[in-house]
A = this chain, B = another copy of it.
Amino acid sequence: MRENLNDTAVELNEEFLKELLQLDHIEEFRENFFTLHEYDQAQFYEKVGPDIRQKIYQFLSPQEMALIFEALEIEDDEYEAYLNEMETSYAAGMLSYMNTDDAVDVLNELDEDHRDSFLEMMDSETVEEFHELLAYAEYTAGAIMTTEYVSILENSTVRSAMAVLRKEAPNAETIYYVFVVDDDHRLTGVLSLRDLIISNEDTIIKEIMKERVVFAKVTDDQESVAQLIKDYNFLALPVVSENNELVGIITVDDIIDVIEEEASDDYSKLAGISDVDDVDVNPFRAARKRLPWLIMLLFLGTLTASLMSRFEATLDQVALLALFIPLISGTSGNSGTQALAVAVRGIATGEIDGKNKFKLLIREICTGLITGIVCGIVVVGIIYFWQHSLIIGLLVGAAICCSIVVATIAGSFIPLLIHKLGVDPAVASGPFITTLNDITSILIYLGLATTLISQIS
């Protein structure tokens, strides 16, 4: 797949481009380089290393470099290193040619002094636009929108709208939607390029535009914006200010990144990693991302141990009991994580809301009862055949049944509660719920065992 070239051909092509750069064959390099898609240009740029990149800065204008920079797929904190390779004026020029949303993403990663050194070199209009976007809180519609959209007045004709589109085509992020505004730049309608090209040239925009526009407010959460674009299959969504002025758009490609980011984030938290871990980071940074969870859980684990120590007498009397501790805590951890995953994803995708919250809880209580009873019976059977002891089997089976019910309820109730408190439910990560469930399941087990100690010892 990918292009008509196979991988070897791509590599040969890269070698060839590198050689052209090293030999200072400007024209030939540019000619070949610009047949590549921007994504491939960016991949080449990332791969070649700092020396060759100096040549690229020499041979490409800041405007040309802007397109490549937009297509880079690097970690947020890596941008600075690339910017430092460029002369400040070159970098400032490139940033001002970039789409505002992408440029702001980069600027957001720099400390204030560094950022200001670039802003000082740009024209005041661009700086103002950047300042506006930089002011929006992270993860909001305002922070991810771009200001390169096409807007027209309601009383224009289709002909003049097409003329505006042709003019804006090289700069606009999308020209497939035209947003219609009144004299105060308030959003009043929307038209797709599809609508435009099938309409008569003299038609007035107001007559053919869609007046029910779905939009986001600058302060809306990026996740709810993603939901809208996904539900309505939009290519772009307009963003309006508090007083309904059109201030930007969010395009579908940015939303794909949001969806992936949120999914990875939920996933990492389920696994107990405080931040999305990346294959490229070194072991020290990876360890730093994992240790907070591990150490917090060590303390919780010690709490488990100290609670268990109250049953030391029971354990001392029947050492056999200890054998089933991992089985019981493991099963309760597993069923809790299952319930947790359903609740967290349901909340994240908007499938669970205020209305069906209660329904979910009831469903989970029933599911817990069913899985608990089935697993309990299975365990009684296994232990009976293995240890030939019905009483131990019944004890472990009952403990497993109760633990599963409690774990399932906790796994769905805790994220719902956290969400209700206005916190991202994904913070109730897998290991946390698992450890909590460890504690309760072991207490249930050893509590039952102590009550029945006369029968089992």
Contact = CB atoms under 8 A, between A and B. Distances in A.
Contacts of A176: 176, 193-194, 235
B379 A298 contact: yes
A266 B267 CA distance: 8
Interface in A236-265: 252-253, 255-257, 259-260, 263-264
A317 to B, nearest CB: 9
A334 B382 contact: no
B352 A327 contact: no
Interface string A437-454: 010001000000000000
A313 to B, nearest CB: 8
B233 A253 contact: yes
B331 A329 contact: no
Interface in A94-129: none
Nearest to A441: B326
B315 A319 contact: yes
Interface stretch (A16-24, A46-54, A81-89, A269-277): A269-277
B169 A273 contact: no
Q: Is the interface of A mostly helix, strand, loop or mixed?
A: helix
Instruction: Count identical subunits in the complex.
Output: 2
A224 B346 CA distance: 26
Closest 4 CB pairs of A and B: A271-B341, A283-B366, A263-B263, A301-B327
A1 B340 contact: no
A279 B352 contact: yes
Contacts of A369: 283
A273 B341 contact: yes
A166 B334 contact: no
Given A37-B214, A270-B341, A322-B325, 7 more contacts: A165-B197, A193-B197, A256-B259, A270-B271, A298-B331, A326-B442, A430-B430
Interface residues of A, number: 130
A344 B217 CA distance: 36
A213 interface: yes
Contacts of A388: none
Contact of A291 (B212, B327, B352, B371): B371
Contact of A287 (B301, B352, B367): B367
A138 interface: no
A137 to B, nearest CB: 16
A59 interface: no
Contacts of A73: 231
Nearest to A37: B232
B378 A279 contact: no
